[in-house]
């Protein structure tokens, strides 16, 4: 039997293609699994942030009727101290005129 060089080259190319496909598939699988873990952590962090924001808003509302909570709100910068200036608005550059 004769050895056909073209058939050997094509077989080698198919084998290399199969190995590359397997490697890319494995990377995709592990990347998607990591993405799902990160997405779950993001959802948890978002829920915690929402709960903390709701608690802060309720505390500010409560401080309107009972001002003994104000030192705690001032300490954590939830409520601005009286007599302090609010933060300045960001400056937007003007468009250049011709």
How high is the pLDDT of residue 85? Answer: 66
Q: Which two tokens stand for residue 59?
A: 């505390």
- Determine the average pLDDT of the residues in 69-89: 80
How high is the pLDDT of residue 94? Answer: 72
Residue of higher predicted confidence among 90 and 50: 50
Separation in Å, CA 10 to CA 1, 2, 15: 18, 16, 9
Express each pLDDT in 20-74 by its tens digit: 999 999 999 999 999 999 999 999 999 999 999 999 999 999 999 998 999 998 9
How high is the pLDDT of residue 95? Answer: 74
């Amino acid at each position: 039997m004769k050895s056909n060089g073209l058939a050997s080259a094509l077989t080698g190319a198919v084998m290399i293609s199969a190995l590359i496909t397997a490697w890319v598939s494995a990377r995709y699988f592990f990347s998607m699994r990591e993405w799902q873990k990160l997405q779950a952590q993001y959802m948890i962090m978002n829920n915690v942030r929402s709960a903390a924001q709701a608690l802060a808003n309720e505390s500010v509302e409560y401080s309107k009727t009972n001002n003994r909570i104000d030192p705690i709100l001032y300490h954590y910068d939830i409520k601005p101290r009286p007599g302090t200036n609010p933060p300045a608005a960001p400056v937007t550059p003007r468009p250049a005129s011709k």
